[in-house]
Amino acid sequence: MAIRTRARILTNRLQSMFLSSSFLHDHATSFGYKEVGEEEKSKLVGNVFSSVAPNYDLMNDLMSVGLHRLWKDRLVSKLAPFPGMKHLDVAGGTGDIAFRVLESINGVKRRALQDGLEDNSEDETRVFVCDINPAMLSVGKKHAIERGLGEAQSLVWVEGDAEALTFDDDSMDGYTIAFGIRNVTHIERALAEAYRVLKRGGRFLCLELSHVEVPVFKQIYDLYSFSIIPAIGEFVAGDRDSYQYLVESIRRFPSQEKFAQMIADARFQKVEYENLIGGVVAIHSGVKL
Amino acid sequence: MPLSTLYRPFSTKPHTNHKNQKEAEGDKRRQRDCRREYRDEQACVLDAAISHVVRLGWSEEAMICGAKDVGLSPSIVGSFARKEAALVEYFMDLCLQKLADKIESGLDLPDLILSQRISKIVRTRLEMQIPYISKWHQALSIQAQPVNISTSLKQRAILVDEIWDAAGDQSMDINWYVKRTVLGGIYSATEVYMLTDHSPGSFLSMNPLIFA
């Protein structure tokens, strides 16, 4: 499948004027296409994820035809993890990103040792998995045990809110959030928290279902999202509403350009994004300096 | 100094990137003083990474060490689009800049005949690679990768043009191309020869440049 790649470097912030606060507020209080109160949104999102957690992996595979694995691989390859890294994966309850980061570091470690890099940093590697939903975290912990990482020191599970992280300032080398920021009530607060916990030179990466603008493909994608995904949800997980919310929340999420601007407004530098499969998903990235 | 200023279009006009001493000093100061701007930080990381090249090669590991040296999270290495290639290209730019400075500060070129002038400049430039000679084959292989080759050819073309410029070439016709092509060949051949020149005094014998 053709993967369309587009990266935009946002150099000035003048455009931020176009980002009126009313837009942000409007987004912040949407639950799919419904307008809800802010507190209600987090409760509703919580219900959705508690409900989908048991079938989460199966549904991801079915809905994305297995492609979500490639998207996550791409995210981690863009992150370029290194031994001794302190990494925070937010909304990563199932551990998909965390396991990939650890695998990648073990690969790098082997290479580095070959090159004679004096390395006592490998023991300092920490990947923190932070998720607001205990049901999702327990799915991840189960996977960790299956992968033989149940006792791994480098993997730390934390129940926490992306808008109020419990980590110190300047404590992380990397921050990733995959398919999570869409569900956060205040995106700006989550971005500000990401900026706060990162060290100078640390990177923010976000993998998120985004907007397709390619003409014919857009119609096919819309048909697929609104007709087929809720149906799959109903048959497989017995939960149509959660998947209806999923596709609606994707449509309510800011466009690639707008979200990139929001990241730049959170003071990140070198903000760029890459569209995969015409924008079905986009990887946004930024550096804290 | 923003490295992009080095990429000037081909020209036989007198140098435009030669700055007076004061300006050059200002540029160096600016390079050292890592400001909060991405391009500058990137240059700082690459600058520091070069000192690790002898040990770790033109590699991500060298860049990670470089980032640690300048007090940045090594995570920033992930934001370089073509990682090791960025390091090699930065080094090429740095050498070109050093060469331009040296030519300006005087290599006693006017006293020599044309072929000696060229020989001297090529030698000056290639000598900058001697500290990294044990890892230079790696740099060449990185430059030869399909994704990097266009940039590396461009950098070489600029270098060769710079050498002809400094040697006082005034040609405006087909000779312009011929001269640059021939010198490009000689330069690259000498560079490759350097890699396997294990004779005492090493590369300084400069055998391929006997035309001088």
Q: Where are the domains of chain B?
A: 18-80, 83-211
pLDDT of A93 higher than 50: yes
Q: Is A94 annotated to bind ligand?
A: yes
Least confident of A79-83, B5-9, B62-66: B5-9
Note whether A287 contacts B: Cβ–Cβ < 8 A.
yes
User: What integer is the mean pLDDT of B181-210?
Assistant: 73
CB contacts, 8 Å: B65 with chain A:
117
Between B2 and B199, where is the model more confident? B199
State ipTM: 0.76
Put simply, the answer to whether A117 touches B56 (Cβ < 8 Å) is: yes
pLDDT for residue A118:
54
**What does the block give as tokens for B41?**
């930080």
Best of A88, A121, A173 to mutate (most B CBs within 10 Å, chain B)? A173
pLDDT for residue B88:
93
Mean of per-residue pLDDT scores for chain B: 77
Note whether B166 contacts A: Cβ–Cβ < 8 A.
no
Top mean-pLDDT range of A38-52, A68-82, A228-242:
A68-82
The count of domains in chain A is: 1
Nearest to B31 by CA among B68, B2, B10, B52: B2
Domain ranges, residue A261: 2-287
Note whether B78 contacts A: Cβ–Cβ < 8 A.
yes
pLDDT band at A74 (very low <50, low <70, confident <90, very high): very high
Nearest to B107 by CA among B94, B98, B120: B120
CB contacts, 8 Å: B45 with chain A:
201
Residue B57 has its nearest CB partner, among A78, A79, A115, at A115
**What does the block give as tokens for B177?**
């191309």
Put simply, the answer to whether B73 touches A269 (Cβ < 8 Å) is: no
pLDDT for residue A285:
93
- Across the beta sheet with A198-209, the strand order is A155-159, A126-131, A86-90, A172-178, A198-209, A281-287, A269-276
pLDDT for residue A135:
87
pLDDT of A94 higher than 70: yes
Between A114 and A162, where is the model more confident? A162
Put simply, the answer to whether B74 touches A173 (Cβ < 8 Å) is: yes
Taking the C-alpha atoms of residue A160 and residue B177, their distance in angstroms, rounded to an integer, is 65
